[in-house]
Chain A
């Protein structure tokens, strides 16, 4: 019996769990007919008998690393799974793009064509990471808190709402079929039905992962959007096409063609996470004898305070973003929203938008950041979400057209993405600065408050840090990788140049 409370034990369990992840990854490679190529790491020709043991060994080593990584982290279902997902994503940079080409004797595969060629391994690594997380969860045998029926119901409800919203946006672009990887010829009613059932089930899955979130709606939003990303890799890219019998659409070109699905799942997850958190709060207000939060001031006081701080933080973030806007002459585009093309009007609109998002950040992420690291993490994550919702979705709608969720249009907004990430960082840091100066909730002013503050401070042990990194990495990598048409779309284990 291996115990997971020692580092070594946890690494061993991780190595075992890695086998589960490796199995999934390996099966996918088999499906793509590429498992043998792993032997090229040892600079020998593709061979099944070298490839498989090597694959198993790598899976074990990488899995042990995962065990070490999450040794100190919380062992809840959602936390472990999301850490696994992030670990897989990060390992893609280390493995297929760096170590493997080095072992093969080529140079680093750090350029865009190589990254495009290694797109299938990216998906493979994501699934590997998630599966390893699940495996470790099972092996650690920690008591898992199963959700109650009410929580599952709320999950389904939030999922259905999110599905409806995302479905509406997709169908306005005539891309409804992409969500469930169906074909355009399928009847609309059936497509909707499938979409909604997937949404409901996904909502239930979310409730299963994070039954009783203790953090704010904003944290739920970020967690949800990364859950959506996992669903994209797992459902949209893998399971649903396999059910449809289309083979695995794992190449960069496939992902590029179905780009709208990526945004759809990110948005779906975000709304799901937000909605689940809100429903949970509503449930508590209406039905629970809620005495846990009795140290809070009234909703009015804290809300107004968060709004005020959000306004200032939004202005600061907007100021940073202004530099980008001026350089790329984006102010005139924003001015379109008020049907003029003067840069001054654009500046006013730009700041108005910055303040609005700042206020929502204040309301959603109040009391979430307790140090600058977490402030940057939440801020940047929110900045990415705003990029998906704002320029990619709401802006076209407000301008009277329909959103265009294609890789090309996202690529046209790369500068805006950079601006939004910087905006988010400025927003998060400034908001945190005010909280730290006037109401540092993590600094106890009494014994009872101290216990609560400690619990909240343990945020670093949850999956929150993993979420920030994952948002940042996929946020910047995927648009760049998927933007330019993939020159080669070999679906290799990890293509070196």
Chain B
């Protein structure tokens, strides 16, 4: 490890030969400065101070030590302050400041320490070291001036040396597809790496111009958070990335071109790349079940969340005036399919929403409402272990949420959900969180894919069988080196870290260095159950109830990108404590009884979600 670090250090030195030359010039200047001061002090009859330091009795030994230190300090000066053309005045004054700092560190601090005393920095001591203060100030000034002159001379003699040659190299084009956690994480890390050594042109293509913070999506659906507050605009988060709001049309890995189309436009633009990062995420999978695509809500985007919220509120509005008890019951029945994180949180949040706004609807009784979660397995939250799953189930059941375990949804109509045992549940609101699939566009890539449609990558996130194409996030199958034969789960927390690693690996590949394997241990899992309860498992320790809920809020708040959004969400939460939830209906979603199903504004087949799949959660 240390060797590797050292190697990087030297690579850095090689990369910027100007730094090396400047350090050399500065140490020569330091020598000159030291020599002048030594000569002056000898003239004054002052011995060069360091003589006594190492018990060197001969003044020749002291002098050489003095010169060595002077050269070293000069080198440090050059490394810290660097050369700037024409700014010799600044270099001189910087030298004076540097001289003073060296005086504080050297004669005032290290010298007493080496003598076995403790430094006091008292006036007496400072007055005693006053000659050396002046010496150091002059040394600094002379070193600064000498440094500037030497480098200027060097640049005159070797005019071809300086950096412009590097700048004229063509920029390496890196195209990132997808603005989710993986894509954004990669873009941010690439920007950081690019700052150290320029030469990248980073382009990010995404259909939405913001990163969606999926863990809080259910709270938007339940009206406790403002929709836009859980989004982070890509342009704000990645200031140096060229952002393009567009849909990906096709990827040509042989010609190294991506074709993108701006929304609602037929013109296709070609983006050439040197390296491509595929982070297209996942979209809902309906497994071809009849009626699902038309009649169910999903929870993947901000629009989805707003639509669910509007549907629930308009169902309440209709139920309030509905004379038919059966239809009324149908309107007040809310069915969620899928007992994973997203499904459980959604049903809990919808329950909270209905409970907190019921007082506005005087004709609705508590027992009129029905909340139902359909789950194929025998316990909810399988990722969390039996105990916490049972706790969550018990907690939610006691509130009045019904669970149909071991049952599957077989289809949906505009007014009912069909189950696999032939029964049907009459409802107007059905949320589907029980399946995800990678973006269908990946099928066009000529590379290996697993059964679920994920692109197969190696440990370094390189797509198998394609040159210079990398994949991260939900759309990639990434081997987990800690568990042989296992793959990393499609969570936001993983995607973010995969993005960083892929950025480092791309830069390493461009420099011809060795690639890094992606390794990450899941730290923990948190699920909010609404109504100030949550369950959590962190480092194998389990939490539940209020403590877990506080952890959920604080941890996710800290993970929310951007200070401004943190403040906004905090304010939303604070207001939610004191005021009832907002029931204003603004969306154009059609009222439940008349609609054929949730209105979708976008084309599913080419749609690329901004986020990781809804079935999972960011793990901390």
Chain A bound to chain B: yes
Residues of chain A having any CB pair with chain B under 8 Å: 69-70, 72-73, 83, 86, 90, 93-94, 97-98, 102, 107-108, 110-112, 115, 297-298, 300-301, 304-305, 308, 324, 327-328, 371-373, 376-377, 380, 411-412, 414-415, 418-419, 421-422, 425, 436-440, 443, 445, 460-461, 465-466, 468-469, 472-473, 476-477, 479-480, 483-484
The reply on B64 being an interface residue by CB < 8 A is: no
Binds A, one of B97-105, B282-290, B500-508, B549-557: B97-105
Query: Could you say which residues of chain A place their CB within 8 Å of the CB of B192?
Result: 437-438
A373 to B83 Cα, complex, angstroms: 10
A301 to B233 Cα, complex, angstroms: 14
Query: Could you say which residues of chain A place their CB within 8 Å of the CB of B240?
Result: 443, 445
Assuming A469-B96, A469-B97, what are 4 further A-B pairs, CB within 8 angstroms?
Answer: A93-B134, A107-B46, A373-B80, A421-B101
Q: Is the CB of A94 within 8 A of B100?
A: no
Q: Is the CB of B137 within 8 A of A93?
A: yes
A469 to B88 Cα, complex, angstroms: 14
Query: Could you say which residues of chain B place their CB within 8 Å of the CB of A98?
Result: 40, 134, 138
Known A-B contacts A83-B89, A480-B123; A107 and B141 likewise in contact (beta carbons under 8 Å): no
Query: Could you say which residues of chain B place their CB within 8 Å of the CB of A477?
Result: 133
The reply on B126 being an interface residue by CB < 8 A is: yes
Binds A, one of B114-122, B336-344, B473-481: B114-122
Q: Is the CB of A465 within 8 A of B122?
A: no
The reply on B82 being an interface residue by CB < 8 A is: yes
Q: Is the CB of A465 within 8 A of B94?
A: yes
Nearest-neighbor residue (CB-CB) of A445 within chain B: B240
Can you show 7 pairs from A to B with CB atoms below 8 A apart? A93-B134, A110-B134, A377-B97, A411-B123, A443-B195, A468-B97, A480-B127
Q: Is the CB of A108 within 8 A of B93?
A: no
Nearest-neighbor residue (CB-CB) of A371 within chain B: B82
The reply on B135 being an interface residue by CB < 8 A is: yes
Q: Is the CB of B563 within 8 A of A301?
A: yes
Nearest-neighbor residue (CB-CB) of A89 within chain B: B96
B44 contact from A70, A107, A377, A483, Cβ within 8 A: A107
Residues of chain B having any CB pair with chain A under 8 Å: 40-41, 43-46, 80-82, 84, 86-90, 92-94, 96-98, 100-101, 104, 108, 118-123, 126-127, 130-131, 133-135, 137-138, 141, 192, 195, 236, 239-240, 562-564, 567
A469 to B: closest C-beta gap in Å: 4
B349 to A: closest C-beta gap in Å: 29
Q: Is the CB of A110 within 8 A of B195?
A: no
Query: Could you say which residues of chain A place their CB within 8 Å of the CB of B141?
Result: 90
Q: Is the CB of B137 within 8 A of A419?
A: no
A485 to B260 Cα, complex, angstroms: 80
Q: Is the CB of B130 within 8 A of A107?
A: no
B43 contact from A107, A415, A421, A484, Cβ within 8 A: A107
A381 to B: closest C-beta gap in Å: 9
Query: Could you say which residues of chain B place their CB within 8 Å of the CB of A73?
Result: 89
B127 contact from A86, A94, A484, Cβ within 8 A: A484
Query: Could you say which residues of chain B place their CB within 8 Å of the CB of A479?
Result: 123
Query: Could you say which residues of chain A place their CB within 8 Å of the CB of B131?
Result: 108, 110-111
Query: Could you say which residues of chain B place their CB within 8 Å of the CB of A115?
Result: 130
Q: Is the CB of A324 within 8 A of B134?
A: no
Query: Could you say which residues of chain B place their CB within 8 Å of the CB of A438?
Result: 192
A98 to B139 Cα, complex, angstroms: 13
Q: Is the CB of A90 within 8 A of B97?
A: no
Q: Is the CB of A107 within 8 A of B45?
A: yes
Query: Could you say which residues of chain A place their CB within 8 Å of the CB of B84?
Result: 460
Q: Is the CB of B101 within 8 A of A328?
A: no
A418 to B464 Cα, complex, angstroms: 60
Query: Could you say which residues of chain A place their CB within 8 Å of the CB of B120?
Result: 327-328, 415
Query: Could you say which residues of chain A place their CB within 8 Å of the CB of B92?
Result: 69, 469
Known A-B contacts A415-B120, A460-B90; A445 and B130 likewise in contact (beta carbons under 8 Å): no
B96 contact from A327, A418, A425, A472, Cβ within 8 A: A472
A465 to B82 Cα, complex, angstroms: 14
A102 contact from B43, B94, B138, B562, Cβ within 8 A: B43
Q: Is the CB of A412 within 8 A of B101?
A: no
Nearest-neighbor residue (CB-CB) of B105 within chain A: A422
Q: Is the CB of A476 within 8 A of B133?
A: yes
B397 to A: closest C-beta gap in Å: 43
A193 to B: closest C-beta gap in Å: 37
- A-B pairs with lowest CB-CB distance, top 4: A469-B93, A415-B121, A110-B131, A108-B44
Nearest-neighbor residue (CB-CB) of A70 within chain B: B89
Nearest-neighbor residue (CB-CB) of B113 within chain A: A327
Query: Could you say which residues of chain B place their CB within 8 Å of the CB of A83?
Result: 89
